[in-house]
């Protein structure tokens, strides 16, 4: 009961905050047409249901999985749910991607079953490649991550996740290839 009440209060507070932001000047603000062009481009890359393989070059192990990406409210975000399994283990999670007009950058928020909290990354297009970068610290180790995703021949997605520990040269952590179902 207390949890339901707390959830209701949180929801009401969130709605009130959104209303205040919307009408902070006391006048109706002109909103840009939605979804924004940046989100339209992102949606063209990701939207759909995809079968994928994860190849871990260090061990040669290959996992398989499925992920689904769909537009969020107003097309201002993309919700991605993924699940893979195989010799490297079983992984499940969600990614929410959006465009931050103040930063003029994409943001992704990754939630996984293998770590608490969220991994926040900042992204930009570099030509036809969408590159997200993030950093995290575990103990005395500072990890830098870079993910590069592109559409390749045949409408497939190719994604490479690189990592670096404490400023060492980047190494390829995992290569992902996805085919739309």
Q: What is the pLDDT along the chain (181 residues), one digit of tens a residue?
A: 444 433 334 444 444 444 434 444 445 567 667 799 999 999 999 999 999 999 999 999 999 999 999 999 999 999 999 999 999 999 999 999 999 999 999 999 999 999 889 999 999 999 999 999 999 998 999 999 999 999 999 999 999 999 999 999 999 999 999 999 9
Distances in Å between the Cα of 34 and the Cα atoms of 20, 37, 73, 77, 162 are: 20, 8, 10, 11, 33
**Which candidate, 157, 158, 150, places its Cα nearest to that of 175?**
158
What's the pLDDT score for residue 132?
98
Task: Report if pTM > 0.85.
Answer: no
Q: Which two tokens stand for residue 30?
A: 């002109």
Residue 23 domain boundaries: 1-30
What's the pLDDT score for residue 11?
41
- 75, 96: one domain: yes
- 24, 40: one domain: no
What's the pLDDT score for residue 34?
79
- 50, 71: one domain: yes
- 18, 51: one domain: no
**Residue 154 per-residue DSSP state:** G
Number of domains into which the chain is organized: 2
- 151, 88: one domain: yes
Strand partners, 158: 150, 177
What's the pLDDT score for residue 24?
46
């Amino acid at each position: 009961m207390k949890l339901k009440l707390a959830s209701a209060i949180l929801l009401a507070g969130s709605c009130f905050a959104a209303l205040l932001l919307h009408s902070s000047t006391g006048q109706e603000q002109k909103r840009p047409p939605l979804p924004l062009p940046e989100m339209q481009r992102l949606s063209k890359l990701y939207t759909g249901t995809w079968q994928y393989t994860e190849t871990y070059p260090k061990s040669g192990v290959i996992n398989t999985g499925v992920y689904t990406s769909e537009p969020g409210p107003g097309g201002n975000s993309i919700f991605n749910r993924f699940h893979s399994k195989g010799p490297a283990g079983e992984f499940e999670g969600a990614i929410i991607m959006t465009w931050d007009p103040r930063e003029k950058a994409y943001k992704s928020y990754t939630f996984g079953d293998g770590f608490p909290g969220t991994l926040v990354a900042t992204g930009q297009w570099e030509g036809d490649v969408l590159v997200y970068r993030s950093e995290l610290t575990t103990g005395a180790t500072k990890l830098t991550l870079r993910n590069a995703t592109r559409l390749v021949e045949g409408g497939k997605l190719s994604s490479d996740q690189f990592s670096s520990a404490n400023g060492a040269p980047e190494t390829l952590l995992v290569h992902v290839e996805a085919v739309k179902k």
